[in-house]
Structure 1
């Protein structure tokens, strides 16, 4: 490493540490015990749980096709750029538009989405949509409630591959997962995403979401204790559930670390970049570079600054153009799945996903007009220092981390992860990126079962995961 690189790392680490020290000197953040995000003055919630089915009208489908047909594309691909380094390239854009317009079948996707039981209920003034999938009756000796929390730019559709593995593992994964254990899955849509109502007032942030999801699982569904799992924003949500309600969780499982920076963690990242063999026990991290991590996040986080400051401005344009929405969302499924895909002509989009799967994610945003509301979630987080401080504070609940090799930046070493949470279970997955449940559901499901064996009630036996190395 050159002198400039070392200095850059030192500056970044020092700045992060100073920022953390300044914020940590403040009074402890008192998170609100209740909230109301419905229209008008606070009203009592309708606690009824109602069955829900997705049913997009033919008029909406026709309107989508009309907009795709008349989409205005006024640029040409740069002659010397044939990949995704400038963003979604034109050739792939036209291919996806043609498929969405002429071959994609929303009704088929709708039937798949409606295959799992789903419901709505009102919590803190907003309608909350959730999947609630139980194991077959009397088949499993131990059934553990499991909350799954999604992130951006995803939605609950990310979980449609992994849910059958969790709720009926004996049918799907035998013999890697024991037949005596299964999960009862509760997968809510974050308010403003999918079919959950957006807040009518500001303040519906990652702490409020944690509170709403806890009310759903404990107060509406009657589970006093559960495991919570998530990635992306989902990791912040479930982490906050563990901070706020430790008495209600067996443990918290994540497939991405929500690293807000702390003194010890930053120093370990710096020292581990210079002398990794002295800092990190696992040889996986012998070439770890904080500089690479930092620069990769800078490359991929332009969207974050926009959404964290003026989400309503860009949201108007994306909500009005299905083609613009598609490019904005699907491009994230390229680089966030594997940074190397940025250098491929098609962005590597079909290496892990099908066109139907990617367009179903986008179609959910389009038909529900989610994009602006989902982007506000960034503003809610970054505009409130108290929310940032709390979400980055040490998580005492037992925490499991399944680390995919191709998440944004580089893997976070376990020594660093342990400065953020009580990490009792750490697994280096051998494949997968940021959208782990969507990309590699089998190894992730195995890891959730292994984590449950450590933290859940007596009688939950450990499983033997075939993929991934547990540390």
Structure 2
């Protein structure tokens, strides 16, 4: 090769290297570098011009009223509706709301729905309105009673579309019930988002989820709360997440029943790549909620047709829905069927009454009908999915507010905690539920209330931990070198020093009695114990109820369960293995042996091997069976 050719080759090499480096740099920036926080105008005026600088900022009582004029007009429309085309044979709800069943709903609405009684029902809680940034914003305000000795906790609950403040009526009694054992009392604020129900809509374009977040934060300040907790789902999740991201100084914790990231590039890449090896992303039990991706994307596309219409032509579809109660019912109630469980579409009645009553569903419809706000409520989609008002940028900005999710089985989307932690840097926990769908507060109000309460308690502990004095000694799990420095409690409540196990090889496992992995793991752990006990193997089992509530029993229940299975290895007190309340031993184990995709425990039956010196040396995922460890254990005899 002559000098010219060498020179050309060298230049080509340099050029290719530069291109590769620049490509890697821009790919890294594209996926992993968050955008700057958008500037939000906290005083932007959404009311009519000229702006009234002296507008009334007082908080005024509001009474929900179904006027006789409105009721008579509605009944006339229900009575004189056009005959519906009969449905195709045996289609259920697969073509949308079944016309045959819609006739039954319309008959109930016309003849059996007691308008005045339901009006009184909706007025059982105190309603108010106040002008924020030019718009009258409606909210319910439920203050707790008998609060002596309790800390009053402000909680704002945010609805979605096609929901309303009515979504929370069944969960409020559980949250406001006396719970002195928790030492907290909930003060609940439930607003109607701008353009929904009794909250005014903007008179000009631009009021999207981020702008709603500003209004809601200003509302809480108007009420008198500079710091508060948030609960939200659907659009309420989006608005709540933006508040937590843009105003972290005001938010003490964020609880969501729709824990998803719609546009975090790295998280979506992670989930997509995970389809090649799902076991690296999610446990075997939960993988069907996410993979194969094609099945879940197919359902999402099928169920999101409304979003494309509302994001482009809300006024067009709004004409029919505002003018026809039958059209409004079919359009909205169909979501309460298929978004609750996709299997419902096979039923002729959509299984609507399996989780809801007609009064519940029609109450929600009445809020849209009485206020004539279905069109203005749908505009938020047009304000969300456009270049000027792209709210999705907030999905890519890290959030340090402590966050907790509850994941219902049939929710429209599912994402693993590892993906959510790309944004929510203090994602404390997910509660996994083996039923339920999109309208969680209406489907499982008691479960939702318990989960919200647990989350708020964890949020409080999170902040107490953060406020520890800097001169305090660091926690044991941060300084420990071996497991021998820890003390645990046996299943009978006796203190056990792990230094008593010096010289043995330990296999430490978090167990559960009602898991799909239980039978295999308990059987094989017993086999390991019998085969290698003489060689110095000791198995330490710690019951844990953090994974889908699969270890709910008392110590006595767990003992009886293990006795029935002839368990001979050592059993200890039930503990948490994740979160702030995790036992220090488990914090140490996770720190010493991080997992493939994070140090948190993914599921029941995670396994740690500790050598004869007390040092954690191996970690195995829940799907690895105990007998598969034999070859690796042999290294430590």
Same fold by TM-score greater than 0.5: yes
Give the aligned partner of residue 443 of structure 1.
Answer: 447
Q: How many angstroms apart in 2 are the aligned matches of 1:385 and 1:127?
A: 22
Conserved? CA contact 2:433–2:548, under 8 Å: yes
Q: What are the equivalent positions in structure 2 for 1:314-333 lying under 5 Å apart?
A: 314-333=317-336
Could you tell me which of 238, 241, 254 is aligned with 1:252? 254
Could you tell me which of 213, 217, 223 is aligned with 1:210? 213
Could you tell me which of 435, 443, 452 is aligned with 2:456? 452
Q: What are the equivalent positions in structure 2 for 1:46-445 lying under 5 Å apart?
A: 46-79=56-89, 81-139=90-148, 141-170=150-179, 178-218=181-221, 220-281=222-283, 283-285=285-287, 288-289=290-291, 290-383=293-386, 384-409=388-413, 411-422=414-425, 423-445=427-449
Shift of 1:266: 1.9
Q: How many angstroms apart in 2 are the aligned matches of 1:371 and 1:61?
A: 17
DSSP 3-state at the match of 1:88: coil
Shift of 1:153: 0.2
Shift of 1:257: 2.3
Shift of 1:406: 1.1
Note the residue ranges of structure 1 that are not aligned, 5 or more in a row: 1-16, 171-176
Deviates more, 1:270-279 or 1:318-327: 270-279
DSSP 3-state at the match of 1:214: helix
Structure having the higher Rg: 2
Give the aligned partner of residue 469 of structure 2.
Answer: none
Q: How many angstroms apart in 2 are the aligned matches of 1:192 and 1:262?
A: 28
Partner deviation per Cα, 1:136-192 (whole Å, 9 max, x = no partner): 13345121100100000000000001111112243xxxxxx8352221000100011
Matched, 1:30 2:39: yes
Give the aligned partner of residue 8 of structure 1.
Answer: none
TM-score, normalised by the number of residues in structure 2: 0.66
Deviates more, 1:42-51 or 1:63-72: 42-51
Partner deviation per Cα, 1:289-309 (whole Å, 9 max, x = no partner): 122221111010111000001
Conserved? CA contact 2:35–2:396, under 8 Å: no
Conserved? CA contact 2:322–2:328, under 8 Å: yes
Distance change in 2, residues 1:308/1:169 (3 Å): farther
Conserved? CA contact 2:44–2:133, under 8 Å: yes
Distance change in 2, residues 1:358/1:465 (3 Å): farther
Q: How many angstroms apart in 1 are the aligned matches of 2:391 and 2:405?
A: 22
DSSP 3-state at the match of 2:157: strand
TM-score, normalised by the number of residues in structure 1: 0.88
Give the aligned partner of residue 494 of structure 2.
Answer: none
Q: How many angstroms apart in 2 are the aligned matches of 1:203 and 1:71?
A: 36
Conserved? CA contact 1:24–1:389, under 8 Å: no
Shift of 1:279: 2.4
Partner deviation per Cα, 1:204-259 (whole Å, 9 max, x = no partner): 111111111111112x1111211011000000111011111101111111000242
DSSP 3-state at the match of 2:402: strand
Shift of 1:467: 7.5
Name the Cα RMSD after superposition: 2.5
Q: How many angstroms apart in 2 are the aligned matches of 1:247 and 1:349?
A: 41
Shift of 1:197: 1.0
DSSP 3-state at the match of 2:147: coil
Note the residue ranges of structure 2 that are not aligned, 5 or more in a row: 1-25, 465-544, 551-575, 579-637
Distance change in 2, residues 1:59/1:466 (3 Å): farther
DSSP 3-state at the match of 1:91: helix
Q: Which one has more relative contact order, counting CA pairs under 8 Å at least 6 apart?
A: 1
Conserved? CA contact 2:409–2:433, under 8 Å: yes
Distance change in 2, residues 1:24/1:379 (3 Å): farther
Distance change in 2, residues 1:52/1:181 (3 Å): same
Conserved? CA contact 1:39–1:200, under 8 Å: yes
Distance change in 2, residues 1:282/1:213 (3 Å): farther
Q: How many angstroms apart in 2 are the aligned matches of 1:193 and 1:78?
A: 35
Distance change in 2, residues 1:25/1:168 (3 Å): closer
Shift of 1:419: 1.8
Aligned length: 442
